[in-house]
Amino acid sequence: MHLIGELDLATCGLLAAALDEAARPGRDLVVDCARLDFLDAAGIAVLVHAAGLIGEGLLWLVNARAGPAELLDLLDLPATVPNLRRGIA
């Protein structure tokens, strides 16, 4: 899955619907954030929900740009969401 533009309160419903369809329990899911310009708390909530949907699988957030990456680092999501990972694809 590739995110483009802004992931905020106005757009998180679209991502939630796509993730609900793509997420499978026990299967890894890769979300490419290379073209994601902005991320807020509503977008974070959708990503955390998706991590819960895949259970034992890993939710990979890859190629995050500076702004979204700083927020993910500040929140230290992998510490509280054990199956969420950040990386470079």
- Residue 39, domain CATH: 3.30.750.24
Q: How far apart are CA 27 and CA 55, in angstroms?
A: 8
Q: What is the number of other CB atoms lying within 10 angstroms of the CB of residue 32?
A: 16
pLDDT tens digits for range 66-77: 999 999 999 998
Q: How many domains does the chain have?
A: 1
Question: Model confidence at 78, in pLDDT bands (50, 70, 90)?
Answer: confident
pLDDT tens-digit series, residues 4-52 = 999 999 999 999 999 999 999 999 999 999 999 999 999 999 999 999 9
Amino acid 79 reads A
Phi/psi of residue 82, nearest 5 degrees: -60, -25
List the domain range (segments joined by +) for residue 60: 2-87
